[in-house]
Amino acid sequence: MTDPHVLYVVANRSGALMYEESKKKKFKFVRRLLNLKGRRMERELVTDRPGRGRVADGLQSHHAYDKATAERQHVAETFAARIAHLLQRSWNEKEFDSLVIAAEPHFLGMLKTQLARCTPNVPTHVIAKEFRQISDRDMSRRLHEELRRTG
């Protein structure tokens, strides 16, 4: 009988940490992905400031175009796709048997959408929670607590 291998991905829009664990191997850090644009504020991503639209008679209207929010969303979606493609390669190379993803709810939704496209058959458990700056030992404990709590 083989030793089931679990891959844990703890992600947000600015980075992802990957850990692995099996019955024979303790929980350990394996990889970090960075998305430096994910840390930037909206105004840093788009050089144009939101402008006001004009109506046909030349009067200024009161709606603003907000390219910055759209760009920030695009940056996060692109990073989610990058993570999903990496997981697809790892799954295809049989590097893990099941997957646990922990991310804040909005980014988790983006990841789930991308994973459904890339790896629809991967056994996956999701945790809608963001974990920040936690040691590897505490990360293992917190993830396992959440998995027990959510079933």
Domain boundaries, the chain: 5-40+66-150
Angle between helices 105-118 and 67-92 (to 10 degrees): 50
Determine the residue type at 81. A
Higher pLDDT, 51 or 123: 123
Residue 137: predicted pLDDT? 86
pLDDT band at 69 (very low <50, low <70, confident <90, very high): low
**Residue 122, C-beta contacts closer than 8 angstroms, at least 6 positions apart:** 87, 91, 98, 99, 115
pLDDT over 80 (residue 57): no
Round to whole Å and give the CA distance between 26 and 19: 10
* Superfamily of domain covering 5-40+66-150: eRF1 domain 2 (3.30.420.60)
pLDDT band at 45 (very low <50, low <70, confident <90, very high): very low
CB 5 within 8 A of CB 22: yes
